[in-house]
Amino acid sequence: MFMLMRRNVVSMIGFIIVIAFLIMGIISPYILTKPEDAWGTTYDVSKRYLPPSLEHPFGTDEYGRDMFNRVILGARFSLIIAIGVVGLALVIGVPLGLIAGYSGGRTGTALMRITDMFLAFPPLLLAIALAATLGRGLENAILALAISWWPWYARLIYVQVNTVKSMPYVDAARVLGLGSFTIMFRHILPNALTPVVIQASLDMGSAVLEAAGLSFLGIGVQPPTPEWGLLVSQGWQSINVAWWISFFPGLAILVTVLGFNLLADFAREFMDPRLRITMMTKEVV
């Protein structure tokens, strides 16, 4: 996989961006040069709205806090949001879709009708309504987005399971007397996960983007948490005075989402046998 990626410049760029984002999210609290500024615990009027410079590469905000350190620390919160939203949506959606697809009948119909009830609402609109109801906070933003996203995974795995469960090896497992739990999680689920993995890769970037949207609207993460969407929102109020406050966290969101999208495109091509053969053929030629 890595050999194919290494020769695909676009995919390699996406891979590097994602790895850099992951590393930054993990180590950011330990590499801060101005931790008080990053966490928003200081206030220095004399440093308000300083433009980008060697001392402050991303300038300072309305409270005189160094934006470079705040953007760096913001990667950690964006990583937490991305993993939390996608992970929770998978935990809810995949088992429900698997059970509905394998069981069929009234059980499958009932589970899919519940899923359809959630799918009837636009995901972002539902997330906004849930976040406004639950209140501001990192955990509430993650929960609101996960609740609005799990039905897509349930529907996706449901369709895949309906295809896979009719395969001969599944019938053979039933003849051998294996239990339903074993058949579902050992024989069906691993062969139905390809589109789910691709969708999850795309949704990592989307989670960062939509969480930023919630914070920008004032119903996401609470200040002074340096989440990228909140930083963009705070900088927007003074965009005519200090453009850099919104620009750099916005650029971080753009690059991160682009990286996940590029990597997801490669994952889709690699996991599709026909596309993978085409890629390998091109490499040989």
pTM: 0.87
pLDDT for residue 279 = 47
3-state secondary structure of 133: helix
Overall average pLDDT of the 76-101 stretch:
93
Which residues neighbour 110 within 8 Å (Cβ) at sequence distance 6 or greater? none
Pair 114, 92: CB distance under 8 Å: no
Determine the Cα–Cα distance for residues 171 and 62; give it in Å rounded to an integer.
66
Rounded mean pLDDT, 92-97: 93
**How far apart are the C-alpha atoms of 263 and 15, rounded to whole Å?**
6
Using a pLDDT cut of 70, give the percent of the chain over it: 92
Domain borders along the chain are: 75-253
Q: What's the pLDDT score for residue 11?
A: 81
Mean pLDDT, range 133-162, rounded to an integer: 91
Q: Residue 30: pLDDT above 50?
A: yes
Percentage helix, strand, coil for the chain under 3-state DSSP, each rounded to 5: 75, 0, 25
| Half-sphere exposure (Cβ direction) of 60: Cα atoms closer than 13 Å | 21
**Torsion angle of alpha carbons 133, 136, 141, 143, nearest 10°?**
-50
Does residue 147 register a pLDDT over 90?
yes
Task: Assess whether pLDDT exceeds 60 at residue 192.
Answer: yes
Cβ burial, residue 285 (10 Å; 0-12/13-18/19+): exposed
pLDDT of residue 285: 46
Distance separating alpha carbons of residues 232 and 249, to the nearest angstrom:
6
- Whether 282 shows a pLDDT value over 70: the answer reads no
pLDDT tens, 117-138? 988 888 888 999 999 898 888 9
* Residue corresponding to tokens 């959606």: 93
pLDDT digits (tens, 9 = 90+) for 216-265: 888 888 888 899 999 999 898 888 899 999 999 999 999 999 999 888 87
What is the DSSP-derived secondary structure letter of residue 222?
Answer: P
Burial of 195 from C-beta contacts in 10 A (0-12 / 13-18 / 19+): middle
pLDDT tier for residue 284 given thresholds of 50, 70 and 90:
very low
Distance CA 180, CA 264 (A): 32
Encode pLDDT of 164-190 as tens digits: 888 888 888 888 888 888 888 888 888
Whole-number pLDDT of residue 4: 59
CA–CA separation, 218 and 210 (whole Å): 13
Greater model confidence, 283 or 130: 130
State mean pLDDT over 91-120.
90
Measured between alpha carbons, how far is 262 from 132 in angstroms, rounded to an integer?
32
Summarize pLDDT for 60-73 with one digit per residue, the tens. 999 999 999 999 99
- Topology (CATH level 3) of domain 75-253: MetI-like fold (1.10.3720)
What's the average model confidence in pLDDT over 102-118?
Answer: 89
Omega prior to 224 cis, within 30 of 0: yes
pLDDT confidence of 6, banded at 50, 70, 90? low
Of 106, 98, 103, 95, the C-alpha closest to 188 is 98
What is the rounded CA–CA span in Å between residue 231 and residue 56?
Answer: 16
Residues 249, 233: Cα–Cα separation, whole Å: 10
pLDDT tens digits, 15-26: 899 999 999 999
